[in-house]
Amino acid sequence: MVGHLIEIEGKPIRYLAADEQLAGDRGNMQNFDVFEDRKLQQHPRIRRVLTALIRPLPLFYRVLHWSDGTDLHELDRKVLRGEFNDDDFAGALVAEPGTINCLNCATQLRILVVDGGQALFAKTLGERLRAHDLKQRCPSCRAHITLQIVEFFNEDRDL
Ligand SMILES: [Zn+2]
- Binned at pLDDT 50, 70 and 90, residue 159 comes out as very low
74 Cβ partners below 8 Å, 6+ apart?
A: none
User: Does 3 or 16 have the greater pLDDT score?
Assistant: 16
Report the pLDDT value the prediction gives residue 24, as an integer from 0 to 100: 66
Q: How far is the CA of 113 from the centre of ligand 1 (A)?
A: 16
Q: 153, 111 in Cβ contact below 8 A?
A: yes
Coil, strand or helix at 144: strand
Q: Which of 5, 131, 17, 2 is nearest to 64 (CA)?
A: 17
Question: Which pLDDT band holds residue 65 (cuts at 50, 70, 90)?
Answer: very high
Higher pLDDT, 73 or 59: 73
Residue 101 alpha carbon to ligand 1 centre in Å:
8
Tell me the pLDDT band of 95, cut-offs 50, 70 and 90. Answer: very high
Residue 97 CA to ligand 1 centre (angstroms):
18
- 14 pLDDT higher than 50: yes
Average pLDDT score over residue span 150-154: 89
Q: Ligand 1: distance of its center to the CA of 145 in Å?
A: 8
pLDDT at 158 over 60: no
User: H or E segment at 6?
Assistant: strand 4-8
Spatial distance between the Cα atoms of 59 and 26, rounded to a whole number of angstroms: 9
Average pLDDT, the chain: 91
The pLDDT of residue 129 is above 90: yes
pTM of the model: 0.91
- Report helix, strand and coil shares of the chain as percent, to nearest 5: 20, 35, 45
pLDDT value at 111 more than 60: yes
Question: pLDDT tens across 46-64, in order?
Answer: 999 999 877 777 889 999 9
33 Cα to the center of ligand 1, angstroms = 24
d(CA 64, CA 150): 10
Sign of the Cα torsion 110, 7, 91, 129 reads positive
**CB-based burial label for 48 (10 Å; 0-12, 13-18, 19+):** buried
Query: Please, which pLDDT band fits residue 71 given cuts at 50, 70 and 90?
Result: very high
Interior angle at CA 87, CA 55 and CA 129, nearest 5: 75
